[in-house]
Amino acid sequence: MKDIQGNSQRKRFVAEQAAQLIQNGMVAGMGTGSTVAFLIEALGRRVREEGLTFVAIPTSFQARIACARLGIPLRDMQDTSRLDLAIDGADEVSPDLDLIKGGGASHTREKVVAAMADEFVVIVDESKLVERLGASFAVPVEVVAGALGYVERRLRESGGQPTLRTGSGKDGPVVTDNGQLIVDVRFPPTVDLRQADQAMHQIPGVVETGLFFDMTDKVLVAASGPGGPTLRTLAKKR
């Protein structure tokens, strides 16, 4: 049985640790998802209680609304080209610190923000660590709506099994903040995902994939301990 309460506790713990990375004067990317929601909450508290001054670049409407409600100053992605730091969650983290992201359908904007940042830090609980990407999570692919049929055919021809992501609480497919669709693609374990990623980027109509290769500088991992959550830091091999 999934430990929902413990999982939430670990997410809050690692988010509060990551909130300490933000310093006065920074311009920082804010990712999307349940762990980042705790991060934004912790940063809002620092703004109120410590007078922390920084500017957040949100990767989704969800992150923008959360920051605005807590009084965190905002700037649009298109109004900057460089960030001091970006912090985000992940759906899977490999031993090489490569990622699958996009469970929240925001991976295109998240990848742009991660690329802008001088340092990209990922915050997860230990359940997100995997030996091989794609072991438990499909690869999200953002697709131009009009190209859906063509892209799905090309993905099947390449050995993938695409599934159009449908909405919860609404009829029809999930529509991203960019106005496009999400196809979740499963690949056999024998497929080299780095090569598959390169191939998917050559398909007209593919906007971006949720595979993040060679982008992560550091991963903060919340693990279970006898006295509560503990923090483990995984750094990129130099």
pLDDT at 238: 60
pLDDT at 2: 52
Task: Output the domain CATH number for residue 78.
Answer: 3.40.50.1360
Judge whether residue 73 has pLDDT over 50: yes
User: Do 58 and 154 have their domain in common?
Assistant: no
Q: Are strands 92-93 and 139-143 parallel, antiparallel or unpaired?
A: unpaired
**Model-level pTM?**
0.94
pLDDT at 87: 98
pLDDT at 187: 97
User: Domain range spanning residue 26?
Assistant: 4-130+213-235
User: Do 97 and 152 have their domain in common?
Assistant: no
Judge whether residue 1 has pLDDT over 60: no
User: Do 86 and 155 have their domain in common?
Assistant: no
User: Do 162 and 110 have their domain in common?
Assistant: no
**Is 110 a residue of the active site?**
yes
**Rounded distance, CA 161 to CA 58, Å?**
31
Judge whether residue 35 has pLDDT over 90: yes
Per-residue pLDDT band for 95 (boundaries 50, 70, 90) equals very high
pLDDT at 4: 58
What's the token pair of residue 43? 């940063």
**Per annotation, catalytic residue among 16, 92, 110, 208:** 110
Range 109-138 average pLDDT: 96
Residue 49's identity, in one-letter code, is: E
pLDDT at 106: 96
Q: What is the pLDDT of residues 177-233, one digit of tens each?
A: 999 999 999 999 999 999 999 999 999 999 999 999 999 999 999 998 888 899 999
Question: What's the number of domains the chain is made of?
Answer: 2
User: Do 125 and 220 have their domain in common?
Assistant: yes
Judge whether residue 50 has pLDDT over 70: yes
Task: Output the domain CATH number for residue 165.
Answer: 3.30.70.260
User: Do 126 and 150 have their domain in common?
Assistant: no
**Rounded distance, CA 105 to CA 208, Å?**
11
User: Do 200 and 224 have their domain in common?
Assistant: no
Would you call 227 exposed, middle or buried from its count of C-beta atoms within 10 A (0-12, 13-18, 19+)? exposed
